[in-house]
Amino acid sequence: MAEEHGPGVRIPPPVLVGGILVAAWVLHRFVPVPLGPPLAEFGALVIFGAFALIGWALLLLVRAGNDPRPDRPDEAMVESGPFRFSRNPIYLGLLLALAGFALRWGDLWGWIAVVAAHLALDRLVVAKEEAYLAARFGDAYAAYRGRVRRWV
């Protein structure tokens, strides 16, 4: 039964996003497409905020008894903390981290990475997780989905 095995996400989202980041970095280094001056300090601040958001969300998942890996079943729905504003604060944090790198680089490849990661997460991860959560938690998840947006 799907509820007992998790949503069936094959590639861990940090690996997926990390691969996109590495590809963007290689392109940035060898085929740069400058968009403006690099904003190194602001980019670093965005990256720090992104990891703080990810850490906060992970802490709440673990406290609720959930294994944060997306291939594991969930024990409880989490609706507090950053989950009050986004159904996917960890993935939102990953996208913000990519945006931080794009700001630091001042290059088109970083922004293309943000778009590519958003599309990959939305189609390959979030869609599967939402179907799983709907089957696992039924009306409670439907109500939550009606109150809280997917991203922000």
Q: In terms of Cα–Cα distance, which of 21, 93, 18 is closest to 61? A: 93
Residue 7 lies in a domain: no
Residue 3 lies in a domain: no
Partners of 107 in the β-ladder: 34
The Cα–Cα gap between 88 and 103 comes to 22
The pLDDT score that the predictor gives to residue 1 is 46
Residue 4 lies in a domain: no
How many domains in the chain? 1
Encode pLDDT of 43-92 as tens digits.
999 999 999 999 999 999 999 999 999 888 999 999 999 999 999 999 99
Coil/strand/helix, residue 121:
helix
The Cα–Cα gap between 112 and 32 comes to 12
Cβ contact 98:23 at 8 Å: no
Q: Which amino acid is at 115?
A: V
Secondary structure letter of residue 83 according to DSSP: G
Residue 152 lies in a domain: no
Residue 1 lies in a domain: no
Residue 5 lies in a domain: no
| Residue 74 neighbours by CB distance under 10 Å | 21
The chain-wide mean pLDDT, for the chain, equals: 95
- Which ranges of the chain would DSSP assign to H, the alpha helix? 2-5, 13-30, 40-63, 89-105, 108-120, 127-147
Residue 55 lies in a domain: yes
Encode pLDDT of 80-115 as tens digits.
999 999 999 999 999 999 999 999 999 999 999 999
Residue 46 lies in a domain: yes
Residue 20: partners with Cβ closer than 8 Å, 6 or more residues away: 98, 113, 116, 117, 120
The domain of 116 spans: 12-147
